[in-house]
Amino acid sequence: MFIVGMREASLQRNRRARLVYAASAAPLILLALVSVVTFVDGLDTGSIGFDFRGAYLRAAREIVDGESPYPPVDGFELASHSAYVYPPLLAFVIVPFTALSNGVAAVLAVLLAAALLVATLVVLDVRDWRCYTAAALWAPTTNALHMASSSALLALAAALAWRYRATVLPLAAAIGLGVATKLILWPLLVWTLVTGRLRPMAFAIAIAVGVTLPLWAVLGFDGLGRYPAMLRRLADLEAEESYSLVGAFTALGVGGTGARVLAIAVAAGLLVLCVVYARRGDDARAFIAALSAGLAFSPIVWLHYLVLLLVPLAIVRPRFSAVWLLPLLLWLTPLNGNGDAIQPLLPTLVTAAVLVVVLFVREQPRVDPARERVSGRPVAESP
């Protein structure tokens, strides 16, 4: 009788588990329609691959034509949202796409961006298909695919840095090439420093500089001298209208300089948190704090930047839970602007909520039913 009772209890637990699993999966499947409709609309309106076609591919074509992709500081291009404002590596990587038509190249770039986002989760050992489904439904994911933006590449670079954190050259290559693609990942160099990874840090800096300077030399160093001024003017044009902390503080009524000071203070606080976690030996949260500091320091943040949230979630919450659904709230914001009322604050609030969960809320241990049946009593499974 005791054995029969145990079996019935086990069957009831399994039925409840299946019901919970189905209840969590059904909304994801329904919400997939939103993402599909939005993506198809992008194809109809010709907006697909906006960043890729407007900035990356155009810059690559200019390089092929022997011209510099960098606009003048005071020119109209910086106000067009399609100026090439990144280190030269990305434009050179895109050069092979110049052999294709704009439309074909854009579609291939979108497919590549999708593959990079999937690879980000695979590299971080995410096996729960619901995490992939939830991530595919995020507004930042849809925006990253619409734009065919470099954010997907940066997410993979961050994932590879974490995956190969115990190595020297692979870790250095992931961070160095990531920084050479876009400066937003530079706080990961701080993470390598405070966690004692001095050789990877040195190699990462060498790789970033060793790749960037020769490529700029091919351009006759055009744009290098005015690059800081170009970034400052771009921030003046776009920071307050973007989803960055500067934009959020501006939406709260803080003046331009005050908003920038507060944003830097928050970002610096995240770097301090990185140091604190590093001293405690919590490598994962030190890494996440540094990655978050990159977003906080950036004066310009568009929605597709937030696909970087895949990395901390995959590291700390590789199994599906409610926190994977938080970025769905970002569908309430415009994809390419900061909107009105609560909309400018929503990306900051959602990002903060995700980071609070992964940095401060410990995952509850789960029970392994097989081990429980063997021992006859509940056994906690390590998170």
Amino acid 74: pLDDT = 85
The set of residues, in sequence order, having a beta carbon less than 8 Å from that of 185 and lying 6+ positions away, is 154, 157, 158, 175, 178, 179, 291, 294
| Confidence class for position 54, pLDDT limits 50, 70, 90 | confident
pLDDT of residue 372: 37
pLDDT-derived band at 77 (thresholds 50, 70, 90) equals confident
Which tens digits make up the pLDDT trace of 136-172? 999 999 999 999 999 999 999 999 999 999 999 999 9
254 to 250, 258, 278, 300: CA distances (angstroms): 5, 6, 33, 16
3-class state of residue 380 by DSSP: strand
Segment 247-264 mean pLDDT? 91
Average pLDDT rounded to a whole number, residues 317-323: 94
Using pLDDT thresholds of 50, 70 and 90, give the confidence band for residue 377. Answer: very low
Distance CA 55, CA 97 (A): 13
Does residue 381 register a pLDDT over 90?
no
Q: Tell me how far CA of residue 348 lies from CA of 39, 148, 253, 272, 307, in angstroms.
A: 24, 23, 15, 20, 13
pLDDT digits (tens, 9 = 90+) for 80-93: 778 899 999 999 99
For the chain, give the percent of residues with pLDDT over 90: 68
How many Å apart are CA 103 and CA 56, to the nearest integer?
A: 14
Tokens linked to 313: 């979630």
Q: Roughly how many angstroms between the first and final C-alpha of the chain, as a whole number?
A: 34
Residues near 92 by beta carbon (within 8 Å), at least 6 away in sequence: 60, 63, 215, 218
- Tell me, what amino acid is at 274? C
Distance CA 93, CA 147 (A): 17
pTM: 0.84
**Rg value, the chain, Cα:** 22
The per-residue pLDDT for 7 is 55
How large is the average pLDDT for residues 370-379? 37
Supply the mean pLDDT for the chain: 85
What is the band of 40 on the pLDDT scale with cuts at 50, 70, 90? Answer: low
What are 226's two structure tokens? 């005015």
Question: Is the pLDDT at 266 greater than 50, yes or no?
Answer: yes
pLDDT at 361 over 60: yes
Q: What is the mean pLDDT of residues 183-191?
A: 97
Upper half-sphere CA count for residue 328 (Cβ side, 13 Å): 18
User: Burial level of 95, CB count in 10 A (0-12/13-18/19+)?
Assistant: middle
pLDDT of amino acid 82: 80
Residue 382 has pLDDT above 60, yes or no: no
Cβ neighbours of residue 372 closer than 8 Å, sequence gap 6 or more: 378, 379
Nearest to 372 by CA among 13, 1, 4: 13
Instruction: Give the residue-averaged pLDDT of 110-116.
Output: 95
What residue type is assigned to position 132 of the chain?
Y
For residue 165, what are the CA distances in angstroms to 119, 178, 291, 379?
17, 15, 14, 31
- The count of C-alpha atoms lying within 13 angstroms of the C-alpha of 331, restricted to the half-sphere facing its C-beta, is 17
